[in-house]
Amino acid sequence: MKIFPAIDLIGGKVVRLSEGDYDKRKNYSLSPLEAAESFRLSGATHIHIVDLDGAKSGNADNAGVISQIVKKFDMFAEVGGGIRSFDSIQRYLDCGVKRVILGTIAVKDFAFAERAVAKFGNAISVGVDAKDGKVAINGWKEITQIDSLQFCVKLKNAGINHVIYTDISKDGMLSGTNLAIYEVLCQTYYPAITASGGITYIEEIKKLKQMNIYGAILGKALYENKLSLEEAVKVAESD
């Protein structure tokens, strides 16, 4: 299982949100480059970066700092937030990003997601952000009536091999993740799922690994020193 420590960006600075609420954000003093360096020193080989400004605006607002991170550190980088055109996808891939995450655009224009995976293959992932089982879009500000699990099936059938599933109610709350939903996803819906949202305890890493989850994104638990990244990486990569 791959561990993806997360860097969420607003105005070029590292932040964490609670339940996806931009009004419930905590700013951190370390720079994005310092955060990435600390992750690398703790053994991380993968990194998850989100342009939260872009998620709302639909523009690559933090592309500059993201490019700096990707070019400086030898890690597998996946990036999301406001990526809604082939030009945006190509720009990130050209700077060294390995996988680009589509969010709102995959919901609003599913044909675009299909064209993207046809063109870019496994460099495309889709983030399925769910609240009460319904898909959320536009920086989690808008809750649709689309069933999140059914949407995952639709993505799988379209040939999209990587999905990041986030339970918004758990995100940033330091109260644990929704293990039950990942068990359902692994067994019934999706073979290559990345768990995101509220992962706080090393036991959760162990359980996700037992489910054969592809990856786990760690955020606030790292920044608040509730979870050791070094230990999480060791557990995830153990035989």
Distance CA 116, CA 121 (A): 7
- Alpha-carbon span 84 to 67, nearest angstrom: 18
Residue 194 sits at the vertex; the CA angle it makes with 154 and 40, to the nearest 5 degrees, is 145
Counted residue by residue, the chain has a size of: 239
Reading the block at residue 97, the tokens are 């990003």
Residue type at 171 in one-letter notation: D
Q: What is the pLDDT of residue 191?
A: 63
Cα separation, 184 vs 71, in Å, equals 37
Active site residues: 8, 129
Predicted confidence at residue 18, as pLDDT, reads: 86
Outline where 73-213 has alpha helix (H).
86-94, 104-108, 110-120, 148-157, 179-184, 202-210
- The residue range of the domain holding 19 is 2-237
Secondary element (H or E) of residue 72? helix 63-72
- The one-letter amino acid at 97: V
Q: What is the pLDDT of residue 211?
A: 93
Q: Which residues contact residue 90 at a Cβ distance below 8 angstroms, ignoring those fewer than 6 apart?
A: none
Model confidence, pTM: 0.95
Q: Which phi-psi region, left, alpha or beta, contains residue 142 (left: φ > 0; alpha: ψ -120 to 50)?
A: beta
Q: In this structure, what DSSP letter does residue 28 have?
A: -
**Which pLDDT score, from 0 to 100, does residue 59 have?**
87
The total domain count for the chain is 1
Q: How far apart are CA 128 and CA 164, in angstroms?
A: 6
Per-residue pLDDT of the chain (239 residues; tens, 9 = 90+): 999 999 999 999 999 988 878 888 999 999 999 999 999 999 999 999 999 999 888 888 999 999 999 999 999 999 999 899 999 999 999 999 999 999 999 999 999 999 999 999 999 999 999 999 999 987 777 899 999 999 999 999 999 999 999 999 888 788 899 999 999 998 776 668 999 999 999 999 999 999 999 999 999 999 999 999 999 999 999 87
Amino acid found at 151: F
Helices 110-120 and 86-94: angle between axes, nearest 10 degrees: 30
CATH number at residue 147: 3.20.20.70
Position 190 scores a pLDDT of 63
Count CB atoms within 10 A of the CB of residue 109. 14
Q: Which helix (H) or strand (E) holds 48?
A: strand 46-51
Cα–Cα dist 66/91, whole Å: 11
